[in-house]
Amino acid sequence: MEALVSATVCLMSPYRANAHRLDVRIKTPWLRRFVLLGIGAALSCALIVLVAHVIRNAPTTAREIAANNCRLDAQRIRSEVLSWRRSNPGRCPSLIDIGEPSTAMDVWHTGYMIQCEPEVIVRSAGPDRVYFSADDIVAR
């Protein structure tokens, strides 16, 4: 009876390209299928874990996506306000002063509010469109 797995170790001259080569061949067809199936299953599991990780960390609702976009806009506007204040100390800019259009709105069609004292804060009214409520988006 032929062995299920044959292994050959070739120790050739160090002057050859493959001086130390380990050659493992699976001779039984059903065992070969079993090994290939195991490798395929392992790759499939890895792919499922990767997809689950991406889905778990992605925003799940349109409201979360809108809030993330608004937060990014508020942070960008805040950095522009800080830059503007370096060259204009003691003053608080409007959106027009920092190069934003006068119609700059958040994703809920409400203007951004800029506060400069005691620190620079850019505020969006959030989904309820009321400033200083619990759902405001604030960049500090």
Confidence at residue 139, expressed as pLDDT on a 0 to 100 scale = 93
| pLDDT number for residue 34 | 76
What's the pLDDT at 35?
Answer: 78
Q: Are 111 and 102 in contact (CB under 8 A)?
A: no
| Domain boundaries, given as residue ranges, for the chain | 5-57, 62-139
Q: What are the two backbone dihedrals, phi and then psi, of residue 25, each rounded to the nearest 5 degrees?
A: -125, 135
Spatial distance between the Cα atoms of 2 and 5, rounded to a whole number of angstroms:
9
Q: Which amino acid is at 2?
A: E
pLDDT at position 56, please?
74
Are β-strands 121-124 and 137-139 bridged in parallel, bridged antiparallel, or unpaired?
antiparallel
Q: Decide: 72 and 65 in contact? Cβ < 8 Å.
A: no
CATH architecture of the region 62-139: 2-Layer Sandwich (3.30)
- Decide: helix, strand or coil at residue 59: coil
Report the C-alpha gap between 130 and 106 in whole angstroms: 13
One digit per residue, the tens of pLDDT, for the chain of length 140 reads 444 444 444 444 455 555 555 556 667 777 777 777 888 888 888 888 888 777 777 666 878 888 888 999 999 999 999 999 999 888 899 888 888 776 688 888 898 999 988 899 999 998 899 999 998 999 99
Residue 118 has a pLDDT of: 86
Query: How many CA atoms within 13 Å lie on the side-chain side of 16?
Result: 8
